[in-house]
Amino acid sequence: MRTIAFGYSTRCNLRCGHCVAKGEIPETSTMDLGRAREIIHEMAEAGVKGISFTAGEPLIFFNEINELVRLCRDLGIYTRIVTNSFWAATREKADQVVTALQKSGLCQLRLSYSRWHQEGVAPRNVVNAATSCQKQGVDYFVSFVTDFSEQDDPHEAFLRANNLRFFPEPLIYSGRAAGFDHGGIRTDFQANRCPMNPLLTPELDMYACCDAGSHFTDTNVFFLGNLAESHVDELFKASETNRLFHLIRTAGITPLAQFAGFTSRQIIRYRKCDLCKEMLNDPATLARLRQAADGHVNHWTR
């Protein structure tokens, strides 16, 4: 099913220390609203079934995003908004926003929560936003961004104490978090498959990966094209028919790393996106993997 992370604007009211979306780019950019409408129509024609409004903080542009959500509803597209809940300082304000979004047909709110977000937004806001969702019948979950350190224990306890539905979201060491101490990890020997949800930026650049992948600037491996020059359908197809990406989705990053010569002992010390970057942001390794993806690397699976 075709889904996409829709970056209407990179503007945000916060400046979280771990933010992936705004790594090296200091200035913000915003999509033209009329063009956003056109793109959503094109996406519907191209069979896109789900749009997640993300990038900076989408609800800074409440009227615009609310309108785009309505448009998606009319076109039969599932919608999600990823938000830091800055707008939910009181129960009343939270109710106002969630009620309006519910009327426009919003399907889900994804509430970001972390020790970095909560330096700028009171934890109570997230509880207010979740409570309004429960009242209005809007599906929600809390995306608990964590580096799995002890520092996050009180935050997790807060989410539990408030009976919020939350899921841990491993911190991505990219963008502003690139310089964080990655710490030592030792995982099981996992396949590290990746669904590869595409990303659309306000500049209309489309990437095959909505997470760390837009930061692979040495090879730009995940860049699919720009909607000023290409149709949405064409760019989705470019991702869907790419043999290497297909392997990332089906076999996972780990078999590719093994094939590229990483030892098993190295592989279990990498986080998924770090391992991906080590291979795919290196021009020589990427060239080898691209060539192999058309042939024998396909057999490098159990």
Q: Token pair of 291, please?
A: 């060539």
Minimal distance, residue 75 CB to ligand SF4, in Å = 26
The smaller minimum CB distance to ligand SF4, of residues 130 and 212, is found at 212
The smaller minimum CB distance to ligand SF4, of residues 44 and 60, is found at 60
- Which residues lie across from 167 on neighbouring strands? 143
- Residue numbers of the site for ligand SF4 (CB under 6 A)? 12, 14-16, 19, 21-22, 56-57, 84, 112, 117, 194, 196, 209, 211-213, 248, 253, 272-273, 276
Minimal distance, residue 252 CB to ligand SF4, in Å = 9
The smaller minimum CB distance to ligand SF4, of residues 44 and 55, is found at 55
Task: Identify residue 44 by its one-letter amino acid code.
Answer: A
Q: Residues 159, 163, 168, 171: is their CA dihedral positive or negative?
A: negative
The smaller minimum CB distance to ligand SF4, of residues 209 and 235, is found at 209
Minimal distance, residue 153 CB to ligand SF4, in Å = 21
In the numeric block, the tokens 């040495």 are attached to 218
Q: How many CA atoms are closer than 13 Å to the CA of 4, on its beta-carbon side?
A: 29
DSSP string, 216-274: -TTT-TTEEEETTTS-HHHHHHHHHT-HHHHHHHHT-HHHHHHHHT--HHHHTTS-HHH
The smaller minimum CB distance to ligand SF4, of residues 79 and 84, is found at 84
Instruction: Strands of the chain (E only): list them.
Output: 2-9, 48-55, 78-83, 108-113, 139-146, 166-170, 199-200, 205-207, 223-226
Minimal distance, residue 248 CB to ligand SF4, in Å = 6
Minimal distance, residue 202 CB to ligand SF4, in Å = 13
The smaller minimum CB distance to ligand SF4, of residues 147 and 211, is found at 211
Minimal distance, residue 208 CB to ligand SF4, in Å = 7
The side-by-side arrangement of strands in the sheet containing 139-146 is 166-170, 139-146, 108-113, 78-83, 48-55, 2-9, 199-200, 205-207, 223-226
